[in-house]
Structure 1
Amino acid sequence: MDISIEPGRADHLDGIHALVLEWGYTASRLRTKAWFEAITDSPSHQIFVALSGGSVVGWIAVEKRLFLSELFVAEITGLVVGSRARRAGIGQLLVQSAEDWSSSMGLPRVVVRSNVTHLESHGFYPAVGYTQSKTTHVYTKDLKQPGSEP
């Protein structure tokens, strides 16, 4: 499989969205488009795609984040490789692209969080040099927006 990695462009959106759905998110194409445009419009975010034969077979999103402990670091906020393209080194190529971007931004570390239900990632990240540093619970609370129904 011939793979190239490049920054995400608008013409990659359909392939990115297909992988968003495969990843298990129920985001509409319009929501994916808004997310993609926010990433590509931001100097603190980047998305890379893996292409095979002109088709998107994987993507990774990375951002410059502010942490009290280290100030700025990079965080991988999404990584998906299509089920038919897994185990071909594409994830590793995408992570390397995110690391290269992070280094070019002068960021000293890359952080990635992985949902406990994404079992494949728990073996993948250590295999590409990442160390588990902690486990965490995530809590959310929806906020009432001005003018919304009670």
Structure 2
Amino acid sequence: MIAIGSDHAGYLLKADIIKFLESKGLEVKDFGTNSPDSVDYPDYGRAVAEAVAGKECEKGILICGTGIGISIAANKVPGARAALCTDSYMAKMCKQHNDANIIAIGERVVGPGLALDIIETWLETEFLGGRHQNRLEKISDIEKKYLTK
């Protein structure tokens, strides 16, 4: 299952992404928002990140105006690896090298056609493991260090 969430600035693109995912037979859990009324992006970044880090959902997609704020919020949740992507190459690399379990996109930065291509690339790309696994373990060590304070 794929978790998805957006603030008001990502609301329209989120609807397009949900249709795209469902057309591919993928199950989606929508964490909101459900209108274009102004809301706070950290609430949605946190909800999706908690669902992914807690294994309720396998992957997550976040959308706000730029993708920056919502990805920062998501990355505060231990176990979340949210990558802001503005092109398909970034989507490929964040999965191959970082095993990004959440992707963030900015509706005001990326149009719907490119956004869907970014998501499709990310979904179809596999983590390479190997030397990259060691780096993920170092990221986990950083999380653990600050969780104990």
TM-score w.r.t. structure 1 length? Answer: 0.26
Structure of greater Rg: 1
Q: Could you say which structure has the greater relative contact order, defined with CA pairs below 8 angstroms and 6 or more residues apart?
A: 2
Structure richer in strand, relative to its length: 1
